[in-house]
Amino acid sequence: MKKHKISELFLYRHRFGIGYFLLSIAFTTVLFLMPLISPSGLSEAEMQSTVDSYSLDFNSMLNGNIVDLPYRALQKVSIRLFGLSAYSISLPSIIIGLFLGVLLILLLNRWFKNTVALIASILTVLSAPFLYLVGFGTPLIMLVFWPTLLLWLGSKIQGVNKPRTSYCFLFALALFLSVFTPYMIYLAVFIFIYAMTHPHLRFTIKNLPKIPFFIATLIVITGTGLIIYNAIKYPNIATELLFTNDFSFRHFFSNISTGFLPFFSWTGNVESTLLAPMIGLANIALAIAGLISTTKGFFASRNSIATLLIVFTLLITGFTPDCAILIILPLAILTAHGIRYILEKWYNLFPENPYARIFAIFPIGLFLGIIIISSTSHYIFGYRYNPTVANEFNDDLALIRENLAENTTLVIQDGTLEYDFYHILDNTTNFKVTTTFNTASAPIATLGKWPNAQNHQIDRIITSSKSTNSDRLYIYK
C-alpha cells in the first residue's frame, strides 16, 4: 500500500496560496464594511480635510494650493460623485488603504519567507492602527503609504542584476509625488543619505542602467524644483510641508510624548482620535523580539531599515503628534523579524522531527486568533463606547441626512468650521445653508439650540447618541 507524504497533499502544497487568498477575502471584506465598523461620526480633522478638498480647483493649484494634492483631489472627486457623506469622505482612505495593504503584504513577502510574511501580514492589515488609518478621512494615511510604496519599489531595484526600467521610473515618480505630503521631504533626504552611505545600495545605484537612471533623476530634480519655486512664491507652502504653523522647538519632545501616548497608554484616558492602547502587548513583544534579532547583521538593508524608520518617525512626530501613526510600518517589519526569530528557534529545537513542526501550527493559529479578535473588537467597540475617544467624533451629518427633508434651511453660525463644512450641502443637495435665522424660510434646523430664539416654536428635537450635546438638531416651525 502506497504511503502518502505530507508534502504531496494538496493543502500542504498550496498552503501559502490558500492563506493569502483567505487573507485577501478577510481584508477586502473589512474594507467594504469599514463604514459600518469605523468610528460613528466625523472628527474635526475629517471635516477640515473635506473643506480643503472641496475648495480645490485648477486656479487654487496655480496659486500654490498643492499640499496633500493627490489625496485632496481624490477626496473631491469622491464627494462630487457620491455627495457629502461619511462614506464619500473616507472612500479615498479606503481605496489607498487597499493598495497600502497589498504593498505591505508584497513588501513582507519580498523580505521574508512565506510563512513569516503571511503571519506578519495578517497581524498588520487587521490591526487596530491600520483599520483606523483606512477609516479616517484625512491625508494621514499618505504618511504610511508613500514610505511603504518606496520601500517596495526599492526592494524590486536593490539586489537585482538588471532591474526593470519601469521600477526606476515608478520610484522616481512616487518620490516626486510624496513631497506633496507634509514632512515627506525629510523622507526623500533620508533615502538619499541612506542610499549614499549603505554599501549595498551604492553598488546597486552604480550598476543601474544609465539612461533610465538619468531620466529618473531628472524627474526628481524637476519636481523638486517645481516645489521649491512654489515655496518661494508662496511661503506658506514651505511652512506646511516642513513644519506646522504653530511649531516651536521647545515643544519638540512634548509632541513626541503626545503622539505616542495613545499607542502605549493602558489607561485608555487619552483625549485623541486614536484609541488607547492602539498596539497590544503581544504585538509589542513580537516587535521587541524582532528588534533584538536585527542587531545581528544590522547593516543588512532589511535589518537596519526598521530601526532607522523608527528614528525618522520620532523626528517628524516632534513636528506634529499626528505623524506617530507612521510607526505602523517599522512595527510591521519588526513583527516579521520577531516571528522569523521565534520560528527559527522552534525549528532548531527539532531539526529532524516533522511532527514538532506540525504541532507548532496549533499554538501559532491560537495566538493569531486571539490577537486578531482582540484587536478588531478593541477597534469596533472602543470607538463606539469609550467616551474619551467617542466624543472626538460627531454624527451630525448622518442626523441631517436621515432626519431632515431636503428643502430644509440649515442655519449655522458664520465663521465656523461647521458652516464651511455643511455649506457643501448647499452645493451638492437641495439643503439651504445660511447664517441668518429667519422663520419665513421654515422649516429651519439648527445645530444645537439657536440663541435668542425663545419666541420661535420648536417642532422637533433630534438627539444624538453621543454623551455630550445630545440635543443636536432643533427644528423650528
463-466: long-range contacts, CB 8 A cutoff, minimum separation 24? 464/394, 464/395, 464/396, 464/399, 465/40, 465/395, 466/41, 466/390, 466/391, 466/394, 466/395
Tell me whether residue 26 is in a domain.
yes
Give the number of domains in the chain. 2
* Statement to judge: residues 99 and 186 lie in one domain: yes
* Statement to judge: residues 284 and 418 lie in one domain: no
User: What pLDDT does residue 229 have?
Assistant: 75
Q: List the Cα angle 437/443/446 in 5-degree steps.
A: 50
Q: Which of 390, 422, 457 is the last residue of a domain?
A: 390
Q: Which of 347, 375, 390 is the last residue of a domain?
A: 390
User: What pLDDT does residue 76 have?
Assistant: 92
* Statement to judge: residues 372 and 400 lie in one domain: no
| CA pair distance 341, 128, nearest whole angstrom | 24
Q: Which of 342, 364, 390 is the last residue of a domain?
A: 390
User: What pLDDT does residue 28 have?
Assistant: 76
**Contact between residue 379 and residue 278 where contact means Cβ atoms under 8 Å apart:** no
* Statement to judge: residues 366 and 470 lie in one domain: no
User: What pLDDT does residue 145 have?
Assistant: 93
User: What pLDDT does residue 288 have?
Assistant: 87
Tell me whether residue 11 is in a domain.
no
* Statement to judge: residues 305 and 415 lie in one domain: no
Tell me whether residue 87 is in a domain.
yes
**Contact between residue 461 and residue 423 where contact means Cβ atoms under 8 Å apart:** no
Tell me whether residue 249 is in a domain.
yes
* Statement to judge: residues 66 and 122 lie in one domain: yes
* Statement to judge: residues 403 and 330 lie in one domain: no
* Statement to judge: residues 98 and 140 lie in one domain: yes
User: 269: how many CB neighbours lie within 10 A of its CB?
Assistant: 10
Q: Hey, what amino acid is at 338?
A: G
User: 243: how many CB neighbours lie within 10 A of its CB?
Assistant: 15
* Statement to judge: residues 374 and 408 lie in one domain: no
| CA pair distance 393, 384, nearest whole angstrom | 10
Low-confidence ranges of the chain (pLDDT < 50): 1-2
User: What pLDDT does residue 159 have?
Assistant: 62
Tell me whether residue 1 is in a domain.
no
* Statement to judge: residues 348 and 364 lie in one domain: yes
Tell me whether residue 3 is in a domain.
no
User: What pLDDT does residue 1 have?
Assistant: 43
* Statement to judge: residues 157 and 218 lie in one domain: yes
Range(s) of the domain holding residue 463: 396-476
* Statement to judge: residues 439 and 424 lie in one domain: yes
